[in-house]
Amino acid sequence: DAGVIQSPRHEVTEMGQEVTLRCKPISGHDYLFWYRQTMMRGLELLIYFNNNVPIDDSGMPEDRFSAKMPNASFSTLKIQPSEPRDSAVYFCASSRTGRYNEQFFGPGTRLTVL
């Protein structure tokens, strides 16, 4: 298996632009998580899905952030409009029910908002 795939790996954009991050979970995994990692705040859970349905989005910082999972093999995290404080590494992770919640992380997307 290829593992969790994220794209792009790096994104540089200007303030006010829309940013879309993409994730393909491991086949057969029914949970998908989006995290954000910064030096100041560490690793924060933004939202997670179970069977494509959002379960907990309490970590989404504000309305500028939205996430979708149209099918079991694809999810997006969108920021619109982006701001410099959104600069961070965004990770996607997936897991499978019954595996005691072991999460498999993707390589991350490093986002820089100028």
Partner 1 sequence: SQQGEEDPQALSIQEGENATMNCSYKTSINNLQWYRQNSGRGLVHLILIRSNEREKHSGRLRVTLDTSKKSSSLLITASRAADTASYFCATTTSGTYKYIFGTGTRLKVLA
Tokens of 113: 């908002």
Question: Would you count residue 104 as binding partner 1 (CB under 8 A)?
Answer: yes
Q: What is the 3-state secondary structure (H, E, C) of the chain?
A: CCCCEEECCEEEECCCCCEEEEEECCCCCCEEEEEEEECCCEEEEEEEEECCEEEECCCCCCCCEEEEEEECCEEEEEECCCCHHHCEEEEEEEECCCCCCCCEECCCEEEEEC
Q: In the complex, what is the shortest distance from the CB of residue 103 to partner 1, in angstroms, rounded to a whole number?
A: 6
The interface region with partner 1, picked from 17-25, 63-71, 73-81, 102-110 by CB under 8 A, is 102-110
Pick the piece of the chain touching partner 1 (CB under 8 A) from 16-24, 43-51, 65-73, 75-83: 43-51
Establish if 48 lies at the interface with partner 1 (CB under 8 A).
yes
Question: By C-beta, is 45 or 72 nearer to partner 1?
Answer: 45
Chain residues binding partner 1 by CB under 8 A are 4, 31, 33, 35, 42-43, 45, 48, 50, 55-56, 91, 93, 95, 100-108
